[in-house]
């Protein structure tokens, strides 16, 4: 379970300080599909980065399964990224010089695990990309690239999947398909947290958290 | 395998590094090989100039009686007196029979001076090959109005350090035909001598000693110094190329921070990223090293084929040099790799 207690995060810019999160407290249960929504600049991405462990709160507590993530050192954070949390970005972030199989295998490389092409094909089938294993990112459409990113997350067998505007660069049809796939990850025991400004997408989640000016409003 | 693909994908970033490294390596290795070859060539040349003979040149007039005592004192078996004269046409040397024993010149015909010739002070001469030709192969030769009978002719030979056989005429030591300067020298083998003994007789500045091994040592030291200076200059070019490579890699890492971010999101540790980038920079350097070595081989082959100098390659020394160059390349890649490892996911995300 993910638990945030009174978390604050301020960005110190040249001329001013921007309070991105102001005393956020929330809980996200296991095997749930939660959407975080709000207008631009309300702190959604900041919140997601803190949950992912990429950023640290200035104050407050971040508890993951009862353990204080604030205190994790570099090695523990690396283990956290390898086994607990994965992020899907709006820009897909596939490595251009690796084909689809290799991009999907990337987390396995760092987890020191191996899967053969057959097992990869099974994962690709789940995301509707069977037969695309030897394609390179530049040969895929936006929707296909995002599915590869999803497949990569499936293969890593993490417990929490975070998605930061995963449908931002996609058309409606592809966006709906991606969200359905994310929802399907619950069946694998994963907890999904999706950040979106699209109300329609947010409605597909089990639970919606709305942020405004760094606060949870609902 | 995908590290190779990553290297190829970013090859545009590495082209100039490879070229710069190749040129620097080429410069260092070619200086090493050429200076080594030249040094060996010079040493062989000097080594072929004569035997292990010491020449003692005395300044001013002195009688020769001290020399027998000197040879006895230091147990010198082979020694000779030697006077050389300036002459219009030939190089004239008056000596005793021991010069033949010391230098062992090859005879074309006849014989060298013997004890009888010396003790009788006969008008006999042994001529060098070129002198014989110059004298129209006559059986007699006139030197300062005195006619000498030619009793032997030396074969054409390589010059030695002290005596130019081919253009010399050797006459018995009893003759003093000097019209001007006479060089008064002694030659002896074995190399034993006590400088204090000589200083006692001639004074500190009254003589000069030259021998082949000291000449070899001096030229060896000079060659080594020149070699070191040239290698230093070549190393400066290597340092410049390494600095360029480090700079270029740091710039590349900044551009690739998103890629590093993705890897870290996927679970790469700082050490994983560090190793990948260190390997990449070592691969880039190694490619430059390989090209540099091939260029050296090609250049040496061309120089050798053109007969410019005789190339000699000390494989052990050059292998050590290549190993050291590899080490330099490896170490220079560590700092950019370390910087890559230090990039955080937030740094990477912000830059995208």
* A69-75: average pLDDT: 89
- Nearest CB neighbour to B268, from listed A54, A98, A110: A110
Residue B264, domain member (yes or no): yes
- So what's the ipTM on this one? 0.88
Residue B213, domain member (yes or no): no
CB pairs under 8 A between A and B: 62
CA B127, B128, B134, B138 dihedral sign is positive
Which residues make Cβ contacts (< 8 Å) with residue B63, sequence separation at least 6? Answer: none
Instruction: Name the strand (E) or helix (H) holding B130.
Output: helix B129-134
Percent of chain A with pLDDT over 70: 100
pLDDT value at position B314? 84
Same domain, B239 and B134: no
Q: Structural domain tally of chain B?
A: 2
**pLDDT above 50 (res B284):** yes
Question: Model confidence over B224-242: pLDDT tens digits?
Answer: 888 889 888 888 988 988 8
pLDDT value at position B87? 67
Question: Model confidence over B59-69: pLDDT tens digits?
Answer: 766 666 777 77
* A8-15: average pLDDT: 85
Q: How confident is the model at residue B1 (pLDDT cuts 50, 70, 90)?
A: low
Question: Model confidence over A77-114: pLDDT tens digits?
Answer: 999 999 999 988 887 688 889 999 999 999 998 988 88
- Please answer yes or no on whether A74 and B265 come within 8 Å at the CB atom: no
Percent of chain A with pLDDT over 90: 36
- Most B CBs within 10 A among A12, A46, A54, A150, hence the mutation to make, goes to A54
Question: Model confidence over A106-160: pLDDT tens digits?
Answer: 999 898 888 888 888 888 988 888 889 999 999 998 889 989 999 999 888 899 9
- Within B306-342, residue ranges assigned H as helices are 315-332, 334-342
Residue B149, domain member (yes or no): yes
* B27-35: average pLDDT: 90
pLDDT value at position B196? 75
- Please answer yes or no on whether A74 and B259 come within 8 Å at the CB atom: no
Mean pLDDT of chain A, nearest integer:
88
Q: Which residue has the higher pLDDT, B180 or A65?
A: A65
**pLDDT above 70 (res B162):** no
Same domain, B73 and B126: yes
Secondary structure (H, E, C), B239-308: HHHHHHHHHHHHHHHHHCHHHHHHHHHCCCCHHHHHHHHHHHHHHHHHHHHHHHHHHHHHHHHHHHHCCC
Q: Which residue has the higher pLDDT, A189 or B1?
A: A189
Question: Model confidence over B6-21: pLDDT tens digits?
Answer: 888 888 878 888 998 9
pLDDT value at position A162? 93
For chain A, the structural domain boundaries read 2-216
**pLDDT above 90 (res A179):** no
Same domain, B230 and B329: yes
DSSP strands (E only) in chain B: 54-58, 79-85, 91-95, 107-110, 124-127, 140-143, 146-154, 168-172, 182-188, 207-211
Contact B312, B36 (CB under 8 A): yes
**B295, two tokens:** 């260029």
**pLDDT above 70 (res B268):** yes
- CA–CA distance from A42 to each of A18, A28, A54 (Å)? 11, 19, 18
Closest CA–CA distance from residue B342 to any residue of chain A (Å): 11
Residue B212, domain member (yes or no): no
- Please answer yes or no on whether B264 and A81 come within 8 Å at the CB atom: yes
Same domain, B235 and B162: no
**pLDDT above 50 (res B352):** no
Closest CA–CA distance from residue A44 to any residue of chain B (Å): 15
Across A13-17, A212-216, B249-253, which has the greatest mean pLDDT? B249-253
**pLDDT above 60 (res B183):** no
Same domain, B34 and B103: no
Same domain, B8 and B36: yes
pLDDT value at position A18? 83
* B239-248: average pLDDT: 89
Residue B342, domain member (yes or no): yes
Same domain, B13 and B86: no
Residue B207, domain member (yes or no): no
pLDDT value at position B335? 93
Same domain, B99 and B15: no
Closest CA–CA distance from residue B347 to any residue of chain A (Å): 9
CATH code, residues A2-216 = 3.40.50.300
Mean pLDDT of chain B, nearest integer:
82
Q: How confident is the model at residue B181 (pLDDT cuts 50, 70, 90)?
A: very low
Same domain, B27 and B71: no
Which of helix, strand or coil describes residue A205?
coil
**pLDDT above 80 (res B182):** no
**pLDDT above 90 (res B163):** no
Q: Which of B156, B182, B208 is the C-terminal boundary of a domain?
A: B182
Residue B237, domain member (yes or no): yes
**pLDDT above 90 (res A62):** yes
Contacts of B265 in chain A (CB under 8 A): 54, 81, 86-87, 93
Q: Which of B182, B206, B238 is the C-terminal boundary of a domain?
A: B182
**A201, two tokens:** 């997408």
Q: Which domain holds residue B6?
A: 2-46+218-351
């Amino acid at each position: 379970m993910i638990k945030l207690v009174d978390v604050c995060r301020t960005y110190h810019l040249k001329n001013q300080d921007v309070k991105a999160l102001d005393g956020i407290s929330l809980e996200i249960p296991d095997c749930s599909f939660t959407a975080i929504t709000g207008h631009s600049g309300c702190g959604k991405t900041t919140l997601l980065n803190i949950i992912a462990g990429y950023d640290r709160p200035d104050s407050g507590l971040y508890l993951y399964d009862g353990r204080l993530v604030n205190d994790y050192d570099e090695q523990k954070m690396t283990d956290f990224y390898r086994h607990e949390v994965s992020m899907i970005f709006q820009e897909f972030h596939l490595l251009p010089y690796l084909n689809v199989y290799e991009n999907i295998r990337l987390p396995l490389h760092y987890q020191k695990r191996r899967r053969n092409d057959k097992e990869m094909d099974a994962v690709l089938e789940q995301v509707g990309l069977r037969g695309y294993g030897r394609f390179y990112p530049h040969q895929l459409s936006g929707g296909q690239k995002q599915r590869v990113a999803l497949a990569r997350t499936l293969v890593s067998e993490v417990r929490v999947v975070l998605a930061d505007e995963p449908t931002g660069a996609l058309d409606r049809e592809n966006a709906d398909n991606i969200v359905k796939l994310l929802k399907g990850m619950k069946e694998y025991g994963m907890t999904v947290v999706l950040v979106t400004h699209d109300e329609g997408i947010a409605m597909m989640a089990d639970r919606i958290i709305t942020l405004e000016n760094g606060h949870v409003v609902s | 395998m995908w590290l190779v693909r990553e290297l190829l994908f970013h090859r545009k970033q590495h082209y100039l590094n490879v070229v710069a490294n190749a040129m620097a390596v080429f410069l260092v290795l070619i200086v090493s090989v050429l200076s080594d070859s030249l040094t060996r060539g010079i040493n062989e040349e000097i080594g072929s100039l004569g035997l292990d003979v010491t020449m003692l040149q005395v300044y001013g007039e002195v009688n020769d009686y001290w020399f027998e005592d000197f040879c006895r004192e230091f147990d010198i078996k082979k020694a000779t007196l030697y006077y050389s004269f300036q002459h219009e046409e030939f190089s004239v040397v008056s000596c005793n029979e021991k010069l033949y024993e010391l230098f062992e010149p090859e005879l074309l015909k006849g014989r060298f001076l013997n004890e009888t010739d010396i003790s009788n002070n006969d008008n006999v001469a042994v001529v060098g090959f070129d002198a014989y030709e110059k004298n129209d192969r006559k059986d007699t030769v006139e030197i300062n109005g005195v006619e000498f009978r030619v009793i032997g002719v030396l074969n054409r030979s390589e010059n030695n350090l002290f005596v130019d056989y081919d253009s010399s005429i050797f006459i018995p030591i009893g003759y003093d035909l000097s019209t001007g300067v006479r060089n008064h020298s002694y030659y002896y083998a074995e190399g034993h001598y006590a400088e204090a003994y000589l200083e006692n007789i001639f004074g500190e500045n009254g003589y000069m000693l030259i021998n082949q091994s000291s000449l070899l040592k001096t030229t060896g030291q000079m060659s080594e110094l020149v070699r070191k200076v040239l290698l230093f200059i070549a190393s400066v070019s290597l340092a410049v190329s390494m600095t360029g490579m480090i700079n270029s890699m740091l710039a590349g890492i900044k551009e690739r921070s998103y890629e590093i971010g993705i890897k870290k999101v996927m679970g790469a540790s700082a050490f994983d990223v560090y190793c990948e980038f260190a390997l990449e920079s070592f691969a880039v350097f190694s490619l430059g090293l390989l090209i540099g070595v091939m260029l050296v081989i090609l250049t040496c082959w061309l120089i050798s084929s053109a007969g410019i100098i005789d190339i000699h390659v000390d494989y052990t020394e050059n292998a050590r040099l290549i190993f050291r160059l590899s080490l330099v390349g490896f170490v220079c890649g560590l700092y950019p790799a370390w910087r890559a490892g230090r990039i955080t996911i937030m740094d990477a995300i912000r830059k995208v």
